[in-house]
Structure 1
Amino acid sequence: MMNDSMSRRSLLQAAGLGASTLLLPTAMAQAAWPSRAVRFVVPFAPGGTSEIVARSVAAELSKQLGQSVYVENKPGGAGTVAMQEVAKATPDGHTLILGHVGTLAVNPYMLKNQPYDVNRDFMPVTLLAKVPNVFVIHPDVPAKNFQEFVAYVKKNPGQLNYGSAGNASAGHLAMEYLKLVTGMFITHIPYRGTGPQLTDLLSGRTQASSAGLPALSAHIKSGKLRAIAVGTQQRISAMPEVPTVAEMGFKNFETSQWYGILAPAGTPADVVKRLQEESLKALKSSAVTARFATDNAVGGGGPSSEFASFITSEQKVWSDIVKRAGIHAD
């Protein structure tokens, strides 16, 4: 009897051990991410709002995950160079990309041949931030406000240039949208990032631009640039004296920069979920909330499905604007 009892106990213990052993690989797989440094690709040159958002969040994620989340700027081809590379990366959560209104909502309609499908080859993780677009001019332009600038450009069609971070950058889109509603003719000069285009704007080689507040704030405060309007529906607290384009007689005009995290299609659902949850935690950290408050950025952090729906809605808006404004790759 004792032998039978011991045998049964031994079998049960063995069975229990076997069950634990069978469950172990799954548990280990779920806990394995991240097993090494995470590469967070920004498809634009350093010095712009995209990098500021990415680095703010990446710094907090590095603390939370116990692995380095490092930002790598990879500009070129209106963001297509970086997007193509990440689309082909191993879908294990160790290579991510910063999604953007241009790369996700405009390029599919502006560029004839993209080597990837933004809706098929990427997995939306979470929206990180919406940042106000600000329209600025060089102080040498003989216009003190938005109305005077529009009037001056109309009197001098094609004589002024505006710079952007590149084709399909948020600044390019905002200015082309503004040209569409106002009837201005001002020439687009694309650069390889916000930093390079600001260098020429500050020196007076170009006369106007639109970019996110984080990249422009210090130059506006110093008087090196003049803010004439914001693209949001309401005025922003950082510059309450600067009017919106909508209140200048262009009802419903609205444009902002937005950024989110995407992973290659096929990335495990549990990795995507954890990354979304960790991103939300990062966005609620004191360091990020303080930075976003300074820049009037609105944090995101919602689930993957919510970000996917947002991208779809933005694609509907910008596909129409691209067609109406005749936006194309210069």
Structure 2
Amino acid sequence: MQRRHFIVRASALAATAAFGLAAAPARADSAADKFPQRPIRLVIGYTAGGSTDIPFRVLAENASKILGQPVIVENKPGAGGVLPAQMMQATAPDGYTLAQVAMPVYRLPYTTKINWDPVKDLTYVINLAGYSFGVVVPADSPIKSMQEYIAYARANPGKLTYGSPGSMTTLHLTMEELALKQNVQFSHVPFKGNSESLQALLGGHVMSVADTPGWAQYVESGKLRLLSTWGDKRSARFPNAPTLKELGYGIVQTSPFGLVAPKGTDPKIVKKLHDAFKKAMEMPNYRQELAKFDMEPYYMSSEQYAQFAAETVKKEKAIIEKLGLARPQ
């Protein structure tokens, strides 16, 4: 009788333990299962009205419909676009705040003293697109080609000014790489975004601007002249502008960007965000908005994006050291 009582009791305890083990994940995962339950903040590193901001607002609207909660774009310009990623270091990993990651983030370990790692201390969600870049001058500028641009810089060391979205941005480093390859000297003028730099160019405060195609409407209206683009092939929208590659300068530059969450974000939440933004970026209106700035969708999964980040950090170190721009250790 005692033996029978022991067996029944042991079976009951085993069943209770099994139930507890099965139930525990459900309780732990309840927040992820119900996500999202409130608005999501999406922080981008550039000014309102520019080539980054405008497509992002369409993307956010698309994602809002998919997720069933508002996705609100917040602009944090300055510092070359790295502020959103910096913010993630002090943000709760609950999925309700996301950040755009721009290429300068991967340069931070070599240019700035930071206490976090751009690869290990961010959760990579999805890559969305890549930029198109170009150099523009006013339509009445005596400089009519990229060859003349370089010739002017060679004849007038340090006098040829160009605006960019900021120091240590992809635009800045690529222009300095071009100057290094051509043995000339440019004068860099940093701005917070292309809406500011283009107004400075139109107002005669700088001689040229290197940036994403926020300049497109001004080129098409005849106010600015496009000297070159930086892709592997000519722009479909501006086929008359040669690439740096075909001009023999040995440079191809695009700058993929996407979304990250804080380190430690629940994988279930990351997957929900990835899936929602993947659907959002595939919608025709987002593709159409990118096309206005001569940009195209560039998808990478969470895993692919994290791998891209790790590889890019190594590549950026090499170019920064080559240009002699690394901060002293």
Task: State the TM bucket, normalised to the shorter chain.
Answer: 0.7 to 0.9
Q: Once the 2 structures are TM-superposed, how far is the Cα of residue 275 of structure 1 from its aligned partner?
A: 1.1
Does the CA-based 8 Å contact 1:46-1:194 persist in structure 2?
Answer: no
Partners of 1:142 and 1:247 in 2: how far apart?
Answer: 23
Match of 1:110 in 2: 111
What amino acid does structure 1 have at the position aligned with 2:43?
V
The answer to whether residue 38 in structure 2 is matched with residue 45 in structure 1 is no
Q: Once the 2 structures are TM-superposed, how far is the Cα of residue 40 of structure 1 from its aligned partner?
A: 0.7
Of the three residues 314, 318, 321, the one matched with 1:323 is: 321
The answer to whether residue 286 in structure 2 is matched with residue 285 in structure 1 is no
Question: Do the aligned partners of residues 119 and 278 (structure 1) sit closer, same or farther apart at CA in structure 2, a change above 3 Å counting?
Answer: same
Partners of 2:80 and 2:287 in 1: how far apart?
Answer: 29
Does the CA-based 8 Å contact 2:194-2:212 persist in structure 1?
Answer: no
% identical equivalent positions:
30
Match of 1:229 in 2: 228
> 5 Å matches for 1:8-27?
24-25=26-27
> 5 Å matches for 1:259-298?
259-298=257-296
Does the CA-based 8 Å contact 2:178-2:249 persist in structure 1?
Answer: no
1:24-72 alpha-carbon deviations (Å, 9 max, x no partner) = 5356333221111111111232233222342232111111111111111
Does the CA-based 8 Å contact 2:256-2:298 persist in structure 1?
Answer: no
Match of 1:255 in 2: 253
Match of 1:196 in 2: 196
Does the CA-based 8 Å contact 2:162-2:208 persist in structure 1?
Answer: yes
Give 5+ residue unaligned stretches, structure 2: 1-11
Does the CA-based 8 Å contact 1:50-1:259 persist in structure 2?
Answer: no
Partners of 1:265 and 1:48 in 2: how far apart?
Answer: 29
Give 5+ residue unaligned stretches, structure 1: 1-10
Does the CA-based 8 Å contact 2:126-2:300 persist in structure 1?
Answer: yes
Partners of 1:24 and 1:328 in 2: how far apart?
Answer: 49
Of the three residues 92, 100, 103, the one matched with 1:101 is: 103
Q: Secondary structure at the match of 1:132?
A: coil
Q: Once the 2 structures are TM-superposed, how far is the Cα of residue 250 of structure 1 from its aligned partner?
A: 1.9
Does the CA-based 8 Å contact 1:76-1:82 persist in structure 2?
Answer: no
Does the CA-based 8 Å contact 1:280-1:300 persist in structure 2?
Answer: no
Stretch of structure 1 that moved more, 237-246 or 180-189: 180-189
Partners of 1:123 and 1:94 in 2: how far apart?
Answer: 13
Match of 2:70 in 1: 68
Question: Do the aligned partners of residues 212 and 126 (structure 1) sit closer, same or farther apart at CA in structure 2, a change above 3 Å counting?
Answer: same
What amino acid does structure 2 have at the position aligned with 1:245?
L
What amino acid does structure 2 have at the position aligned with 1:218?
Q
Match of 2:148 in 1: 148
Partners of 1:286 and 1:108 in 2: how far apart?
Answer: 38
Q: Secondary structure at the match of 2:299?
A: coil
Does the CA-based 8 Å contact 1:49-1:212 persist in structure 2?
Answer: yes
The answer to whether residue 177 in structure 2 is matched with residue 169 in structure 1 is no
Does the CA-based 8 Å contact 1:127-1:307 persist in structure 2?
Answer: yes
Q: Secondary structure at the match of 2:206?
A: coil
1:253-306 alpha-carbon deviations (Å, 9 max, x no partner) = 111132110110000111111211111111110111222233332213331110
What amino acid does structure 2 have at the position aligned with 1:57?
L
Q: Once the 2 structures are TM-superposed, how far is the Cα of residue 132 of structure 1 from its aligned partner?
A: 1.3
Q: What's the C-alpha RMSD, in Å, of the aligned pairs?
A: 2.3
Q: Once the 2 structures are TM-superposed, how far is the Cα of residue 202 of structure 1 from its aligned partner?
A: 1.4
Does the CA-based 8 Å contact 1:39-1:94 persist in structure 2?
Answer: yes
Question: Do the aligned partners of residues 325 and 299 (structure 1) sit closer, same or farther apart at CA in structure 2, a change above 3 Å counting?
Answer: same
Stretch of structure 1 that moved more, 74-83 or 310-319: 74-83
Match of 2:139 in 1: 139
Partners of 2:161 and 2:115 in 1: how far apart?
Answer: 31
Of the three residues 67, 80, 84, the one matched with 1:82 is: 84
Q: Secondary structure at the match of 2:36?
A: coil
Match of 1:307 in 2: 305
Equivalenced residue count is 311
The answer to whether residue 26 in structure 2 is matched with residue 28 in structure 1 is no
Partners of 1:280 and 1:258 in 2: how far apart?
Answer: 15
Partners of 1:115 and 1:190 in 2: how far apart?
Answer: 25
Partners of 2:283 and 2:128 in 1: how far apart?
Answer: 13
Question: Do the aligned partners of residues 27 and 265 (structure 1) sit closer, same or farther apart at CA in structure 2, a change above 3 Å counting?
Answer: closer
Does the CA-based 8 Å contact 1:99-1:262 persist in structure 2?
Answer: yes
Q: Once the 2 structures are TM-superposed, how far is the Cα of residue 96 of structure 1 from its aligned partner?
A: 0.7
> 5 Å matches for 1:239-254?
239-251=238-250, 253-254=251-252
